[in-house]
Chain A
Amino acid sequence: MTLLRTAPPTAIFGMLVLAATLLTGIFAPLVAPYGETEIVGAEYLPWSAEYPLGTDNLGRDMLSRMIYGARNTVGLALLTTGIAFGLGAALGMFAALKGGWVDQILSRAIDVVMAVPPLILALMLLAIIGPSIPNMVGVIAVIYLAPVYRLSRAAAMNVVSLDFVDAAKLRGEGTLWLLRREILPNISSTLVAEAGLRFCFVFLFIAALSFLGIGIQPPTADWGSMVKENATLITFGDVTPLIPAGAIALLTVSINFIADWMLHRASGLKS
């Protein structure tokens, strides 16, 4: 709790937004006035008491889709970040510990993934395997595993060169112990601080893919594709399509504020 008291106002703002989004997402069916894909009226109805944010291009309630969108978009971004982090961190530590050809092979493979711009790589891979939610999660996880690998390898390299790792090796400790007990606890604060930033990238990335029509597919509600579906309204001066886009921005800003504070703390603790 002392932690919260030292947090700057930006970070507190971030945590409030994040908590609200998570709660909305978790309790979506209870909060939403209509179903996720339920057609409730005519298309593009204006804001009213019945439909607080109007209806979309197919006559579905915008507010309900925003609420379900919180669940889908944020949930998938969390899942993807989790996979990317778990795999990336494990492989990075492993490469740092083993060195030699294991490190060479893994690092060169990661170099290739990072040699192609992420969005282009995702578009190409999804063109090949076809856009679906599991495919998208897999592709983005592979792409974002690369920077996590590099970070965790670099951080673990600093730890591996320390004498207590040598001491553990000379005791005859196995790889799993070295990774889990000697290295991981010493790089976890770096990884946690980075996780926030990476989540933002993944979240924006999924939104961009969905906006381009290659990410989360209809009729699933999702903030990125909602912008795309209703974009025509903008030319008539209607701000409704900006609401899902603004929600993406708001949540990302919030998490960035939290991550910035955490990074600041992590670097402060080191010195």
Chain B
Amino acid sequence: MGNLLTIRDLSLEAGPRTDPKRILDRFDLDLDRGEVLGLVGESGAGKSSAGLAAMGFTRDGVRIAGGRIEFDGTDLARASQSALRRLHGRRIAYVAQSAAASFNPAHRLIDQFAEGPVLHGTADTATAHEDARALYRQMQLPNPDEIGFRYPHEVSGGQLQRAMTAMAMACRPDLIIFDEPTTALDVTTQIEVLGAMRDITERYGTAAIYITHDLAVVSQMADRITVMRHGREIETAPTPRILESPQEDYTRSLWAVRSIRKPDATGAAEPILTLEATSAHYRSFRALDGIDFTLARGRTTAVVGESGSGKSTLAKVIAGLMAPSEGRVLWNGAPLAGDHGKRTRAQLRDIQMIYQMADTALNPRHTVRETLDRPVSLFTNLKGKARRARVRELMELIELDPDEFLDRRIPELSGGQKQRIGIARALAAEPKFIICDEITSALDQIVAEGILKLLIRLQQELGLTYMFITHDLATVEAIADEVMVMKNGKIVESGPRARIFEAPQEPYTKRLLASVPQMDAGWLDRARRDAAEAKSAEAPA
């Protein structure tokens, strides 16, 4: 039994009472004072609902179907609204996923900070303001004396997330719920925020429930980890033990992606696509800045960078969705028109794209058959029976049973199945080159692993060339032959995978590599030190 929080047999339900959907199913949780518990699981595992339930709070449409939530002797499942209100913010605080959306745009940060302490009577406004500055300083926010007087839209995402943690600390609560607090941040920003969060909870001995889908991140923050799936607890153990000897198959599978390795490419590299001094603009903003590179036939080139680095713009330019403002793109030595409407049918066929969000990449009003039949009829001369056979063959290529899936509508498929259909649609054109734009980032680990394996197999069978856009370095290690690092619309560094990972030359590449969360316990400390060094090296010489 935890001496701060004990949850027993907690079930949550949503939807109509006659046909409810279980969100949490007889869930147990124990937490001691000052302890940090990690809640890990894939999307839909019920971890956010569990975190909110630990506060006695459920979102609209969700109700407690049974069980106890005992916080320091009070059962929150049965507590009155006013009793809960007295606890919220004062003894249990919450840090939300998107700080930008969770700060009220109409009020200054410091006023939102002071609201809790003043309402709960733990401080007057002046004391609260003074405390805010002290906490902003401890959270390593720039200009801690002044930053609180800004409005949320005037502060960057990483800083807002730290300001929100400071706000959660305002009444020095016994427990903080961190709900995916760094998911929306870039990896390099994530390190600073994680570090500041850990420091402050350690300093005040605050207990925390840290919710995330990222095992590496949670292993830096938590003393113990609970793995969840489908609203149930799969396994709970101290962090070192769950990393070294997980008991359940499901827990082991969570980091399976890190075990894929593509066989090394052999033979001479023959150019298939070349960009010459290519730039692209959104109005006056230069999203691509003089890009030069050559892609080799039959290889996979990974394009890596944080948000805003220009990697998605690069994909659009090559696909013909955005015309370059300078430079040119050569396909097999011949220049490609900037606008897809001016490209030949053969060029359109050769270059295909697979998208990040399979949900929006496929028309939800079409069936699988319609989705695949259309490109087959446009790009090949197949008619009637041969065309139907080709559609079935495509389904077999992506390892989905044609009889079962062809007549389903897109919304009836799972995320991974949709992404496979996206791949089949690209293959339907019989392309030579496929741009993969963050295709696994919206998928759960196991599903992503399946997709990557499929792509590697297809490349070997069909001799495809891939350009793989991603921010996830684990994926890069798994699939790339060549790596290209981008920042601010420029190529920072490029080269063979092994060279980039083992001997990066540029400080930014080093910092990026150091930012990737690792499972071992000392990573965050190392990474913070490295990041500080690399950042000072990157500063204009």
User: Do the two chains touch directly in the complex (Cβ atoms below 8 Å apart)?
Assistant: yes
Question: Which of the segments A164-172, A221-229, A234-242 contacts the partner chain?
Answer: A164-172
Q: Are A163 and B357 in contact (CB under 8 A)?
A: yes
A162 within 8 A of B: yes
A182–B410 Cα gap in the complex (Å)? Answer: 13
A186 within 8 A of B: yes
Closest chain A residue to B356 by CB distance?
A: A163
Partner of A170, one of B320, B364, B365, B366: B320
Q: Are A186 and B340 in contact (CB under 8 A)?
A: no
A169–B375 Cα gap in the complex (Å)? Answer: 11
Q: How many residues of A contact B (CB 8 A)?
A: 15
Chain A residues whose CB sits within 8 angstroms of the CB of B363 once the complex forms: 164, 168, 181-182, 185-186
Q: Are B374 and A166 in contact (CB under 8 A)?
A: no
Q: Are A163 and B365 in contact (CB under 8 A)?
A: no
A101–B366 Cα gap in the complex (Å)? Answer: 31
Interface flags for B171-195 (1: CB within 8 Å of A; 0: not) read: 0000000000000000000000000
Chain A residues whose CB sits within 8 angstroms of the CB of B128 once the complex forms: none
Chain B residues whose CB sits within 8 angstroms of the CB of A169 once the complex forms: 321, 340-341
B462 within 8 A of A: no
- Report if A164-B320 is in contact (Cβ < 8 Å); known contacts: A170-B348, A170-B353: no
Closest chain A residue to B345 by CB distance?
A: A172
B109 within 8 A of A: no
Q: Are A164 and B360 in contact (CB under 8 A)?
A: yes
B250 within 8 A of A: no
Interface flags for B371-409 (1: CB within 8 Å of A; 0: not) read: 000110011000000000000000000000000000000
Q: Are B355 and A167 in contact (CB under 8 A)?
A: yes
Closest chain A residue to B426 by CB distance?
A: A167
Give residues of chain A (143-199) contacting chain B, Cβ–Cβ below 8 Å: 162-164, 166-173, 181-182, 185-186
- Report if A172-B365 is in contact (Cβ < 8 Å); known contacts: A163-B355, A163-B357: no
B425 within 8 A of A: yes
Chain B residues whose CB sits within 8 angstroms of the CB of A171 once the complex forms: 348, 374-375, 378-379, 429
Q: Are A162 and B360 in contact (CB under 8 A)?
A: yes
A181–B370 Cα gap in the complex (Å)? Answer: 11
Q: Are B362 and A164 in contact (CB under 8 A)?
A: yes
Chain B residues whose CB sits within 8 angstroms of the CB of A163 once the complex forms: 355-357, 360-361
B319 within 8 A of A: yes
Closest chain B residue to A166 by CB distance?
A: B321
Closest chain A residue to B437 by CB distance?
A: A163
Closest chain B residue to A161 by CB distance?
A: B360
Chain A residues whose CB sits within 8 angstroms of the CB of B355 once the complex forms: 163, 166-167
A167–B355 Cα gap in the complex (Å)? Answer: 9
In the assembled complex, how far is the CB of residue B59 from the closest CB belonging to chain A, in whole angstroms?
Answer: 12
A182–B364 Cα gap in the complex (Å)? Answer: 9
In the assembled complex, how far is the CB of residue B352 from the closest CB belonging to chain A, in whole angstroms?
Answer: 8
Interface flags for B326-342 (1: CB within 8 Å of A; 0: not) read: 00000000000000110
In the assembled complex, how far is the CB of residue A267 from the closest CB belonging to chain B, in whole angstroms?
Answer: 14
- Report if A167-B425 is in contact (Cβ < 8 Å); known contacts: A186-B363, A186-B364: yes
In the assembled complex, how far is the CB of residue B265 from the closest CB belonging to chain A, in whole angstroms?
Answer: 27
Closest chain B residue to A186 by CB distance?
A: B365
Interface flags for A108-121 (1: CB within 8 Å of B; 0: not) read: 00000000000000
Interface flags for A244-264 (1: CB within 8 Å of B; 0: not) read: 000000000000000000000
Closest chain A residue to B61 by CB distance?
A: A271
A162–B319 Cα gap in the complex (Å)? Answer: 15
Partner of A167, one of B320, B345, B356, B361: B361
A171–B348 Cα gap in the complex (Å)? Answer: 7
Chain A contact residues, CB within 8 Å of chain B: 162-164, 166-173, 181-182, 185-186
10 contacts between A and B (CB under 8 A): A162-B361, A167-B361, A171-B374, A171-B375, A171-B379, A171-B429, A172-B345, A181-B366, A186-B363, A186-B365
- Further 7 A-B residue pairs, CB within 8 A, beyond A170-B348, A171-B375, A185-B365: A163-B356, A164-B361, A164-B363, A170-B353, A171-B429, A181-B363, A185-B363
Query: 9 shortest A-B CB distances, which residue pairs?
Result: A185-B365, A163-B361, A162-B360, A163-B355, A164-B363, A163-B360, A172-B348, A164-B362, A170-B340
